[in-house]
Structure 1
Amino acid sequence: MRYVGFAVLALVVIVIGWALMSVNAIPRDEESAQAAWAQVLNQYQRRADLVPNLVETVKGAAKFEQDTLTAVTEARAKVGTVQLSPADLSNPEKMNEFESSQGALTSALSRLMVVVEKYPELKATENFANLQAQLEGTENRIAVARMDFINAVRIYNTDLKTFPGVIWHSILYGDRAPMQQLQVEPAKLDVPKVDFGTSGN
């Protein structure tokens, strides 16, 4: 009988220990997802900061189609007006608006790089080559940051819907809503393809 009592006591201790460890999973994983989102924003801001120098360099070195430069400038301006706070990560409308503005800038930059192909003298300048390398590196960092955010949101949303998180959600964290995943069309997620090899033009 004594062994049964010890077994029950040990089981109770294990359950309490497990409960204490799992009770913090939701806020911990929420913080991780918000930190991952901050990194996404950081990389998007890095890209936005490159745009004015890129536009000025292109404008100063070639007779460009004004529509292309205008599209890049306007897309960059719109990106600056669409803000998304951590509290908005569970709002599908705000997330879609944010992603739409970022996708428009990605598309405008892609068109700009296609036009640049007509100007080998521009591609040969050191300043433009440096900006192109920074843009390409930033697009790669954006892709990595987005993947990290997607994974962090998956973990957090899973916490809210599965045992034991679903219990803690109903008892302690009822104000937490699932976060929205990034929903941009695959074409908008592509890194702009920039070929700075020898042009036949």
Structure 2
Amino acid sequence: MIFAVIVVVLIVVVGLWAVSQYNGLVKLRNLVQEAWRQIDVELHRRHDLIPNLVETVKGYAAHERGVFDEVTQARAAAAGAGSSPAEQAQQENVLTQALGRLFAVAENYPVLRASENFQQLQAELTATEDRIAASRRYYNANVRTLNTKVESFPANVIAGMFHFERAEYFEVADPQVRQAPDVQF
């Protein structure tokens, strides 16, 4: 009788542990998905601002057609749905580089730089970039936590049984970002 009670208590404890591990994995997976949706919201805001910025610069620099086409194509590719975090990061890197060239064109037009509309759009884009960076940090922190739990024993047993998988990080692939600045005195 005592042996049966011990076995039942042990089964209940193991069952409660398994349920707790499963619920923890579900919670982390949902946090990762929520964080990705927040990045997606900020990226859509960025994509909505870009046409306004391009149109503003176009008014001053009509002969820079190639740069405008490049930004428009990069925005269309980045705004496409159904991308994984790695694919989205790659498309966003292309868009960031195209925007850099657009701002380089704008530097050649002092009247444009002084335009209140251009300054406002540039400030909004900068604020959006900051929110994207913060969202990316939050997303990557949640991915790290989920991946750690999926790979750590004994939670990896439950993760394997219920097909929980590692999530992808949202990483910057721009070599200029990863390169140390050259400082000279």
Instruction: Provide the residue aligned with 2:165 in structure 1.
Output: 177
Instruction: Provide the residue aligned with 2:56 in structure 1.
Output: 57
Return the alpha-carbon distance in structure 2 between the equivalents of residues 36 and 64 of structure 1: 41
Following superposition of structure 1 onto structure 2, how do residues 1-201 of structure 1 map, counting pairs within 5 Å?
18-84=17-83, 94-171=84-161, 173-174=162-163, 176-187=164-175
Task: Report the Cα offset of residue 20 of structure 1.
Answer: 4.1
Matched residue count? 174
Task: Compare 56-65 and 143-152 and name the one that shifted more.
Answer: 56-65
Give the share of equivalent positions with the same residue, in percent. Answer: 37
Task: Report the Cα offset of residue 78 of structure 1.
Answer: 1.2
Where do 5+ consecutive residues of structure 2 fail to align?
A: 1-7, 179-185
Return the alpha-carbon distance in structure 2 between the equivalents of residues 159 and 96 of structure 1: 21
Return the alpha-carbon distance in structure 2 between the equivalents of residues 44 and 189 of structure 1: 19
Return the alpha-carbon distance in structure 1 between the equivalents of residues 157 and 79 of structure 2: 40
Q: Which amino acid aligns with 1:36?
A: A
Return the alpha-carbon distance in structure 1 between the equivalents of residues 165 and 15 of structure 2: 26
Task: Report the Cα offset of residue 16 of structure 1.
Answer: 6.1
Contact 1:40/1:146 (<8 A) preserved: yes
Structure 1 pair 104–81 and aligned structure 2 pair: CA distance change class (3 A): same
Task: Report the Cα offset of residue 105 of structure 1.
Answer: 0.5
Structure 1 pair 38–121 and aligned structure 2 pair: CA distance change class (3 A): same
Contact 2:29/2:146 (<8 A) preserved: yes
Where do 5+ consecutive residues of structure 1 fail to align?
A: 1-8, 85-93, 191-201
CA RMSD of aligned residues (A): 2.7
Task: Report the Cα offset of residue 31 of structure 1.
Answer: 0.2
Return the alpha-carbon distance in structure 1 between the equivalents of residues 167 and 95 of structure 2: 24
Contact 2:143/2:169 (<8 A) preserved: yes
Q: Which amino acid aligns with 1:177?
A: E
Contact 1:37/1:149 (<8 A) preserved: yes
Task: Report the Cα offset of residue 21 of structure 1.
Answer: 3.1
